[in-house]
Amino acid sequence: MLKIVCNNIPRLAIHFSDLPAEVQAEFGHVESKETADYLLYKGEYYCVGEFISSHAFNGNDKFLSLGIEGYTADSAFSGIIIKSIEFEPDYFIIGQWLEVTDRIVFKRG
């Protein structure tokens, strides 16, 4: 079963020039990094362009059915999700997804 942990509060995207210098260096591999949007979530920075699109799976994706537009995985059982805000292109909702069994929740420490 999929569990979503999110407070549903829109977060303003951070532009590359506003990232700390050490964080900018971490995103040196990102194409068009100067125009990409970044998000800060639980002390980690994420590039919006590096999320896997839920639309890429022809509407059969478990996240798309929940209105989630993009996700990353930090393991086979958990990761980060994002959703854009309609009419507010600089805002995103970000949260965590977990695969849950009957009694065990797998999540990052």
- C-alpha 96/C-alpha 44 separation (Å) is 13
At 63-90, the pLDDT tens digits run 888 888 889 988 888 999 999 988 888 9
Q: What is the pTM of this model?
A: 0.81
pLDDT over threshold 80, residue 33: no
Mean pLDDT for 46-59 is 80
pLDDT given for residue 77 in this prediction = 86
Whether 61 has a pLDDT exceeding 80, the answer reads: no
Mean pLDDT of 83-108: 82
Distance (Å, whole) CA 79 – CA 97 = 5
Instruction: Specify whether the CB–CB gap between 74 and 81 falls below 8 A.
Output: no
Distance CA 81, CA 71 (A): 4
Report domain extents, the chain. 2-99
